[in-house]
């Protein structure tokens, strides 16, 4: 019977979006001009919380740092979580835009300002068309995404106990390689998991003129670095995604002294947990085996530590991705949702999936004639903001309606 069945809900989303975009652009420019780095999102969170309250949400602040949750209740029905990350990067902006960062050395170069603005846009639309959907929407502002800590901290601070546990969660992210007005996604593995590893190669230091009286950790570290290259090339199935890079190597203080140890910092990227485990086991085996071959005594074996910066692969739910994608295409037109290949980068939205919540994730096209070629994390990143906000707002609102449409 409802006037909102069929395609009517589509107009209830699209018509107001056209009116909202200029207002949302003002909000976007405020976010963009006042960026704050991971963990320091105080003003940003306050601005986002205020905008969600103005849209009709009940907002709780200070969850896992500067995290916040805006709740919009609309009777019995599914609980849908929409998440936007809030942090910026320690980069000096070089776009020359009139609304460029007013804070030297800090920039929204990953589009998190677009994500927050789209979250507010979706809240305003959904509050204005309550007759189209039912249930509860959680609008989550997440801090510290760039250091893959914020999602974990919000969960540890009771995100899923203090608020209704979500049946699913949806996020958008700026996609500089996707044309404005389009959305990219895929089911299954969408971005890589990552591990950071400290490797301390230990030796027995001494005088550079008498290496025979030492066990030189510099030569051993060099051998270890080369031997580690054989993990990808000789041990991992060529069909599996695996990257191992060594980002830092530090040892010694002086020309004429052999140090006691050399510290290396490794970064591993993977899609399948079994491949991560295989890689970590190989790192330990090669580090120890190379040390033994160098005659290192048992008490001076290398120390391998996987540090607390793990991020799981982002695995999206096929049914949810299909349902939300269909809703988005209904609004944006056939062909607006395109399949993208898995990304080598990581995204801590994945942590919510690890906690058992089905996920959908959409890359929002930010490329048009005026946006240039700069990619995410570039000091020149200048997305097509108006079209991206329109697409992001519609994608989030349409996803909620696709999951919680009023019968």
Residues forming contacts to Zn ion in the complex (CB under 5 A) are: 110
User: Rounded distance, CA 376 to CA 339, Å?
Assistant: 19
Tokens 């270890």 belong to residue: 224
| Strand bridging mode 188-191 / 314-316 | antiparallel
Q: Which is nearer to Zn ion, 91 or 110 (CB)?
A: 110
What three-state secondary structure class fits 267? strand
**Helix or strand run (H / E) with residue 60:** strand 58-63
Q: Which is nearer to Zn ion, 79 or 110 (CB)?
A: 110
Q: Which is nearer to Zn ion, 11 or 373 (CB)?
A: 373
Tokens 């160098």 belong to residue: 294
* DSSP characters over 304-353: EEE-S--B--EEE-HHHHHHHHHHHHHHH-TT-EEE-PPBSS--TTHHHH
The distance of closest approach from Cβ of residue 232 to Zn ion in the complex, given in angstroms and rounded to an integer, is: 25
Q: Which is nearer to Zn ion, 148 or 159 (CB)?
A: 148
Decide if 244 contacts 268 (C-beta within 8 A): yes
Q: Which is nearer to Zn ion, 110 or 120 (CB)?
A: 110
Q: Which is nearer to Zn ion, 94 or 223 (CB)?
A: 94
The distance of closest approach from Cβ of residue 366 to Zn ion in the complex, given in angstroms and rounded to an integer, is: 12
First to last CA, the chain: 9
Residue nearest to Zn ion (CB): 110
Three-class secondary structure assignment of 340-365? CCCECCCCCCHHHHHCCCCEEEEEEE
**Alpha-carbon Rg of the chain, whole angstroms?**
24
Neighbours of 326 (CB within 10 A): 12
The distance of closest approach from Cβ of residue 37 to Zn ion in the complex, given in angstroms and rounded to an integer, is: 12
The distance of closest approach from Cβ of residue 172 to Zn ion in the complex, given in angstroms and rounded to an integer, is: 10
The distance of closest approach from Cβ of residue 135 to Zn ion in the complex, given in angstroms and rounded to an integer, is: 28
Q: Which is nearer to Zn ion, 214 or 310 (CB)?
A: 310
The distance of closest approach from Cβ of residue 111 to Zn ion in the complex, given in angstroms and rounded to an integer, is: 6
The distance of closest approach from Cβ of residue 146 to Zn ion in the complex, given in angstroms and rounded to an integer, is: 5
* DSSP characters over 112-172: HHHHHHHHHHHHHHHHHTGGGB-EEEEEEEE--TTTT-HHHHHHHTTHHHHSPPPSEEEEE
User: Rounded distance, CA 361 to CA 317, Å?
Assistant: 9
Q: Which is nearer to Zn ion, 63 or 110 (CB)?
A: 110
The distance of closest approach from Cβ of residue 78 to Zn ion in the complex, given in angstroms and rounded to an integer, is: 27
């Amino acid at each position: 019977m409802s006037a909102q069945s069929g395609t009517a809900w589509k107009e209830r989303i699209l018509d107001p979006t056209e009116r909202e975009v200029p207002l949302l652009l003002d909000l976007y420019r405020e976010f963009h001009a006042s960026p704050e780095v991971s963990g320091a999102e105080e003003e940003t969170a306050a601005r986002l919380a205020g905008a969600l309250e103005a849209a009709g949400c009940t907002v709780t602040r200070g969850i896992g740092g500067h995290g916040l949750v805006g709740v919009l209740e609309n009777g019995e029905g599914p609980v849908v979580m929409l998440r936007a990350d809030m942090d910026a990067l320690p980069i000096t902006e070089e776009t020359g835009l009139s609304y460029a960062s007013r804070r030297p050395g800090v920039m929204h170069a990953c589009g998190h300002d677009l994500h927050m603005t789209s979250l507010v846009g979706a809240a305003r639309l959904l509050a204005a068309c309550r007759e189209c959907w039912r249930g509860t929407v959680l609008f989550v502002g997440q801090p510290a995404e760039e250091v893959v800590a914020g999602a974990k901290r919000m969960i540890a601070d009771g995100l899923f106990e203090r608020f209704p546990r979500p049946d699913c969660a949806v996020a958008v992210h700026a996609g500089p390689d996707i044309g404005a007005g389009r959305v990219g996604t895929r089911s299954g593995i969408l971005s890589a998991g990552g591990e950071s590893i400290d490797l301390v190669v230990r030796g027995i230091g001494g005088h550079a003129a008498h290496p025979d009286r030492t066990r030189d950790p510099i030569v051993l570290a060099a051998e270890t670095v080369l031997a580690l290259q054989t993990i990808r090339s000789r041990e991992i199935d060529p069909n599996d995604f695996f990257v191992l890079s060594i980002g830092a190597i530090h040892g010694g203080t002086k020309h004429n002294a052999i140090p006691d140890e050399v510290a290396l910092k490794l970064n591993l990227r993977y899609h399948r947990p079994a491949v991560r485990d295989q890689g970590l086991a190989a790192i330990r085996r090669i580090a120890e085996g190379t040390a033994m071959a160098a005659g290192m005594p048992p008490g001076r074996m290398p120390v391998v530590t996987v540090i607390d910066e793990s991020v799981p692969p982002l695995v999206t739910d096929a049914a949810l991705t299909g349902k939300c994608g269909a809703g988005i295409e209904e609004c944006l037109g056939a062909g607006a949702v395109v399949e993208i290949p898995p990304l080598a980068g990581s995204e801590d939205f994945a942590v919510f999936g690890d906690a058992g919540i089905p996920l959908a994730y959409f890359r929002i096209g930010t490329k048009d004639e005026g946006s240039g070629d700069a990619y995410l994390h570039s000091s020149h990143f200048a997305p097509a903001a108006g079209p991206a906000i329109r697409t992001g707002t519609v994608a989030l609102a349409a996803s909620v309606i696709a999951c919680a449409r009023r019968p």
